[in-house]
Structure 1
């Protein structure tokens, strides 16, 4: 494993070689400039994560708000816009600037086209594997959920797509929302002999027995490489507990250290953790667990051009995160000499569908699996006059659309929508199809609710979610982004103590009364036995009634103490 000095020397060498990404050109020459990465070393790992079942190319706007506090302030992944470009030497106005930031999003999206798509990703994977014999493809999870076809096929479309893509090892999070039985069925019937499903931190609730293998050791060009799985540690908190009633989760640093020591004892010369912790959690974990060469992470959807290097008791671990929605492929090359990593190179490649031709076999599969649903997916529900997106610490415009629809259809004064990070973007002037709505709502517990809630309880809910997001200890950040709020206005101080971050709550300009009861609409309840009209039906009803959707103004909180934070536009 590299020590800190060696890592810093490597980073300096990479910077001197020009870590900034090449300019875009809509030609074969442009593709060569972007994707012709010289082979390096003797061990290569390819990594994608959080694709959320997006088989087709899409638009996806990166966040303009990704606040970092304390040690995380000014550090990846909490850099947005110009701050990110400057930190990683990405030239403004390029395709790469579009891929990594929200800057000039609509104009850039129209210029550079869509990103991702499994057929285009497959072409890039095959290209990288051809130049890097023995390379492994790692899937960081959140792969089987996030689209209509994934929901309607009970994840089968994505399972088969990943086998065709050539995934070697995977871990999980939203996969678990299909339930224990379905997950085990897929592993036994579909993945066995094809994809290793690893998760060291999932145990049975009765005797704490491992549910899944903790790791797999693969030979790459004669080098033993251990891949250890780290599933999302807070699955039973962020998602319904009853779906994984017999399994317990957690970060389990001590157990991870034991697995690292075990695989090193078995002769592993490279140790990589395939994680779905979220990047801040991975950074803390890297400081506490020794012997890991790299953590290839997911969950927080952060497209980070270069790894963060974290010092620990016995050396340094690089921590990367490969974005979301299939729009990036991470390429990590190690040079292993004398039984340890001596050097590395890393690139996070944007997957531009205009530059990468569709792989014929994958495209044929996608066309076949979508065919029974094509007319249903492509039906136009309305036209949007403004950009619709979801991503960031607070409301996006598609979140706002969902809130507006829900409050109107359900007859609510206030709306709550989960702080999900997944969901594709739609440019102004484009049709909103049923597929787009499902991209924002396709979950196995989609029920809408209408609840009488006291002002005191409303504050409690907001404080609880806010602490999940802004707790100074990453190990207590147990969910997604901030709950999206409709109707209600409030002020948020992310740096305040727990229970004191939310103040000055108002409805129609009047202060919220702690003792008064308000009608609050919501969706995605985690309680067992919940019922209600699915959220996609509510949104579809509203869209069909409106036909044309005016630009949505996101209902954002007034933030205190965030001036100059590089995690904000």
Structure 2
């Protein structure tokens, strides 16, 4: 238990505090005043969320929501203008996936709301590729703002022609603001970008764009990054010329701005949490050479006490209308909520339920394994509806089975625990295992024992086992290449994962949170 607490503490990303108003003296007196308004990782949460990430319920606190978020953007824009600040509105990615709005409308609801709050540029998040290039292209045409990704090569993907650029320059008052977009380099392993997009090293791509922007004159460089706060810190230290990083991906609330020594100047890093529960604002006073002379501002929490923008509320209601009948269908009842916040670090109750559902749907399998990143929300207390199930599993994945040697099964478990806190962490049924995050690579898995009837006992490296999983990781997603490359046989066209989960919950009738020692930290 002590080691688990230590692991949780080491992986926790607390909101940094601002150590000092400036690390270095400004290069010149401020000439232009700017406000950067920003959002990241909205994940289609148009109707808001509980703190657990589950959908809102009457009588329970519920933050975020598109209509309140847009009202907050409008108020922040008006306040900035009243202070004689020019405004630039940016989105650091992952608009897609997390509710039925995306499942039904494939990004068009998100684009409509972004237009309401006035987005001017966006970086792509990993989940923005989940529907493939065609879905992303349709979204971008509806959005009408540039997608910036300096480390993404779209030359081989005609559906995105003319819709993506490495960077853009905005003129605000007397200032040039160069915005450089960056995304994750491992998108092909964790999402579905198709075979033609290429993703390259972020540092080299950022340096090229910064040089191109500054070749045309003084500029303030803002990196719009969907790579996580730790990657942003590393980028600031490695690449000269960056003034600001507006981040996403790690769902971290970085407010007030994190101020750190960069490669050649002070760098300000911000991130606005996730799920539309915060709206970011960073005020900059800029010198004539583009350097930041002073900064201020911070994120605003979007609470259920805040006003809604009426036009956005009406827009969301229109998009919601075809969803209502689907989501109202009763599935099961839960005595208490089942959160998903711990599923990327260890055994979690909702992960157990989902893995059990895979075994129920594939009774011939010896065990089940699914990735925690596929569990997008928890399940609420009280009535669980089909809408809740579809929100928890929004990817439209299918049940897959794969036959593996025991040594490759252990390799799959090793991959799952290789990066605690990431979406690859395994949730399992029919197997119990121990793991040590401090052990050498390849030795993190200790005991692994099958608990089902066909072949119970320790995992035999030479025996074959039938694994029930989902088609995303069966095809190598989240680093599970062994499920693709070492399969003795495989089948990916089982029933939709959400159908299997709903059937299992319905069969239980009454759902309870249950941990039974399937995954033990040693």
TM-score by length of 1: 0.75
Unaligned runs of 5+ in 1: 1-6, 13-40, 63-104, 471-478, 561-569
Q: CA deviation at 1:421?
A: 7.2
Unaligned runs of 5+ in 2: 1-17, 24-31, 477-490
Spell out the pairing of 1:24-103 with structure 2 (5 A cutoff).
42-61=33-52
* 1:504/1:403 CA distance change after superposition, 3 Å: same
| Match status 1:9 vs 2:17 | no
C-alpha distance in 2, partners of 1:178/1:197?
A: 16
C-alpha distance in 2, partners of 1:163/1:462?
A: 43
* 1:281/1:469 CA distance change after superposition, 3 Å: farther
Matching residue of 1:536: 498
Matching residue of 1:260: 210
Contact 2:254 2:269 in 1 (8 A): no
Q: CA deviation at 1:319?
A: 2.6
- Greater shift, 484-493 or 362-371, is seen at 484-493
Contact 2:351 2:375 in 1 (8 A): no
Spell out the pairing of 1:9-408 with structure 2 (5 A cutoff).
9-10=20-21, 42-61=33-52, 113-133=61-81, 134-172=86-124, 173-187=126-140, 189-192=141-144, 195-204=145-154, 212-240=164-192, 243-339=193-289, 340-353=291-304, 355-392=305-342, 393-394=344-345, 395-408=347-360
C-alpha distance in 2, partners of 1:197/1:554?
A: 45
Q: CA deviation at 1:257?
A: 0.7
* 1:255/1:375 CA distance change after superposition, 3 Å: same
Q: CA deviation at 1:235?
A: 0.9
Contact 1:301 1:421 in 2 (8 A): no
Structure with the bigger RCO (C-alpha within 8 Å, sep 6+) is 1
Matching residue of 2:484: none
Structure 1 vs Structure 2 CA RMSD = 3.0
* 1:292-337 CA distance string (max 9 Å, x none): 1121111122233444444333123233332221112222111213
C-alpha distance in 2, partners of 1:124/1:555?
A: 44
Contact 2:98 2:377 in 1 (8 A): no
TM-score by length of 2: 0.82
* Correspondence for 2:403 among 443, 452, 460: 452
C-alpha distance in 1, partners of 2:127/2:99?
A: 12
Contact 1:390 1:425 in 2 (8 A): yes
Contact 1:292 1:317 in 2 (8 A): yes
Q: CA deviation at 1:211?
A: 7.6
Q: CA deviation at 1:338?
A: 3.5
C-alpha distance in 2, partners of 1:481/1:534?
A: 20
C-alpha distance in 2, partners of 1:530/1:149?
A: 26
* 1:8/1:115 CA distance change after superposition, 3 Å: closer
Matching residue of 1:520: 467
Spell out the pairing of 1:411-490 with structure 2 (5 A cutoff).
411=363, 412-420=365-373, 423-428=376-381, 430-444=382-396, 446-469=397-420, 480-490=423-433
* 1:362/1:110 CA distance change after superposition, 3 Å: closer
Q: How many residues align?
A: 466
C-alpha distance in 2, partners of 1:181/1:110?
A: 37
Contact 1:385 1:549 in 2 (8 A): yes
Q: CA deviation at 1:248?
A: 0.4
* Correspondence for 1:505 among 448, 456, 477: 448
Contact 1:279 1:298 in 2 (8 A): yes
* 1:150-196 CA distance string (max 9 Å, x none): 12222222222222232221111212222223323433x3233xx22
* 1:244-297 CA distance string (max 9 Å, x none): 211101333122112112223333532111111122222222211111112111
* 1:331/1:360 CA distance change after superposition, 3 Å: same
* 1:238/1:332 CA distance change after superposition, 3 Å: same
C-alpha distance in 1, partners of 2:58/2:312?
A: 25
* 1:317/1:541 CA distance change after superposition, 3 Å: same
C-alpha distance in 2, partners of 1:408/1:499?
A: 31
